[in-house]
A and B are shown apart, each in its own frame.
Chain A
């Protein structure tokens, strides 16, 4: 089946620094990718939708200047958490649509800890 590879799987960074998370579709082209954040014992919350070659669409309440999304190619989308703070510590997951009308393929997730 289709594979979405997310890297890194975990990262620890100092407060105030930036962290980049990569999401690659390994055997298919993804014109759209979704970025989620998941806090412990909570649902996946959609942060933004990245579209290849155009600006990302952010959900209400998500700071687009803080969470920079780039979808420069059909196989790569990146999320950069800028000036990270401890409250940004979370599990970040990307996903790509399958052949149906919803996301079917998720990356492995990235656990971000800001100290």
Chain B
């Protein structure tokens, strides 16, 4: 079993839709939960991170972590064609320990 599981998609939505991206994880030691955005043939870019359970909002993006169910979510409101990319969830126990990535979900926002 992979430590971080993510549906690879692809996920296609119309412009303006609310997008929900999800991951599950199995390692109870994970404390930091991150979302990265990766455009084709580019390195990942950190979007948001949360520490432990809870919500964090940044503009149109909301990250949510539920440690009791080991569930990680990223919501994108009013999605735009420029949001089209692969979104990677990731987690680590902290303390500069190894980061474990999901496989990424490819999102396409159709104008």
Interface positions of A (Cβ within 8 A of B) = 4, 6, 9, 32, 34, 41-44, 46, 91, 93, 95, 97-98, 100-109, 111
Contact between chains at A109 and B88 (CB < 8 Å): no
What are 20 contact pairs spanning A and B, CB under 8 A? Answer: A6-B43, A9-B41, A41-B103, A41-B104, A43-B2, A43-B101, A43-B102, A43-B103, A43-B104, A44-B101, A95-B43, A95-B44, A101-B92, A101-B95, A102-B32, A102-B94, A102-B99, A106-B46, A108-B42, A111-B41
Write the chain A residue with the least CB distance to B31. Answer: A101
Interface positions of B (Cβ within 8 A of A) = 2, 4, 8, 31-32, 34, 36, 41-46, 49, 88, 90, 92, 94-99, 101-104
Contact between chains at B99 and A42 (CB < 8 Å): no
Q: How many Å from the CB of A5 to the closest CB on chain B?
A: 10
Determine the chain A residues whose CB is within 8 A of the CB of B34 once the complex forms: 102
Known: A102-B34, A102-B49. A107 touches B92 (CB 8 A): no
Known: A107-B43, A108-B43, A109-B42. A100 touches B49 (CB 8 A): yes
The 7 closest A-B CB pairs, nearest first, are A106-B43, A101-B94, A43-B101, A109-B43, A44-B101, A104-B46, A43-B103
Question: Could you list 5 further interchain pairs (A-B, Cβ under 8 angstroms) beyond the known A4-B43, A109-B42?
Answer: A44-B88, A93-B44, A102-B90, A104-B46, A107-B43
Known: A43-B104, A100-B32, A100-B49. A93 touches B95 (CB 8 A): no
Contact with B88, one of A34, A43, A101 (Cβ below 8 angstroms): A43
Complex-state Cα separation, A33 to B88, whole angstroms:
20
Contact between chains at A46 and B98 (CB < 8 Å): yes
Determine the chain A residues whose CB is within 8 A of the CB of B95 once the complex forms: 101
